[in-house]
Amino acid sequence: MLPPIDNVINVPLPIVCAFMAVLGAIIGSFLTVVIHRIPLEQSIVFPASTCPRCHVAIKFYDNIPIVSYLLLRGRCRACGAGISARYPAVEALTAILFAAVTWHDGLSFALAFDLAFAASMLALIFIDAEHMILPNAITYPGVIFALITRVAVPYLAGPAHFDDLPQLMSAFPSLPVWLVSLIGAAIGALAGGGSLWLMGFMWEKLRGVEAMGFGDVKMMLMVGAFLGWRLTILTILLGALSGSIAGIIVMYRRGGRNLQMMLPFGIFLGIGSIVSLLFGSRIIIWYASQFR
Ligand SMILES: [Zn+2]
């Protein structure tokens, strides 16, 4: 294991969080492109962003996250067409998320991995909300990324970074840490992907309709491998809870007729995974203490 970064760079955590919030706003600006283009199977690099109405290329100085939107009062500089408030919203949300993950991790070698995970969850949430899909272009590389994290981070930041790893290491004392970590990833992926697959399967048998695409299953393979089985089960519980609450609200507003209508579950699984990443260990400790 490497020495902790804060032994080398001694910067107060609130300053690191502020810096990461700025980075988050920039990544968020990139995420708005990802959210818009990945479902359309367009390149996320070329061409540069243009105004959807007048097709004038957006100047770099008009492309500063959040700030440009406020300065331009949400209008295109060339033609005055309204710019969707979704752009600054995603940028601000990513900024807040990056600050929160940094606050949670501290200055650690694991931080970059957790930030990438949080950013991909945010992209999946917004893509599912807009297009009702969870694209393979994110979930497949996401599974590979989770496995790389599992191999590297125990050596970079220590096994205790993972919720499940310390316990697993005492169960397999003779195996190398990276292998135990991958076993944890496999158990987590099975718990996440397996339960989503089972839910879809049962729903199909009960109702005779296709409940969900395999996007949710693939998403939960990634989440399960990354977070481990306990935080993954928590993710599904939080997803089901927030999804039900949202479903009741939507049904109430629409007059409570259409039980068949579907909310994209990926949104709520994404929210659950981020809450689990940030607060999961504490929620589990609190929950366990209720039974003592
Ligand atoms: Zn324009």
**Alpha-carbon span 148 to 152, nearest angstrom:** 6
195-248: pLDDT as tens digits = 999 988 888 888 777 665 689 999 999 999 999 999 999 999 999 999 999 988
Determine the distance separating the centroid of ligand 1 and the alpha carbon of 31, expressed in angstroms.
21
Determine the distance separating the centroid of ligand 1 and the alpha carbon of 49, expressed in angstroms.
11
Determine the distance separating the centroid of ligand 1 and the alpha carbon of 24, expressed in angstroms.
26
For tokens 């292998």, what's the residue?
179
122-165: pLDDT as tens digits = 999 999 998 889 999 999 999 999 999 999 999 999 999 999 99
Determine the distance separating the centroid of ligand 1 and the alpha carbon of 21, expressed in angstroms.
29
Determine the distance separating the centroid of ligand 1 and the alpha carbon of 190, expressed in angstroms.
48
Confidence (pLDDT) at 248: 86
Determine the distance separating the centroid of ligand 1 and the alpha carbon of 14, expressed in angstroms.
38
Would you say 193 and 269 are in contact if contact means Cβ atoms under 8 Å apart?
A: no
pTM for the whole structure: 0.91
Q: Residue 283 half-sphere exposure, CB side, CA atoms within 13 Å?
A: 17
Confidence (pLDDT) at 257: 60
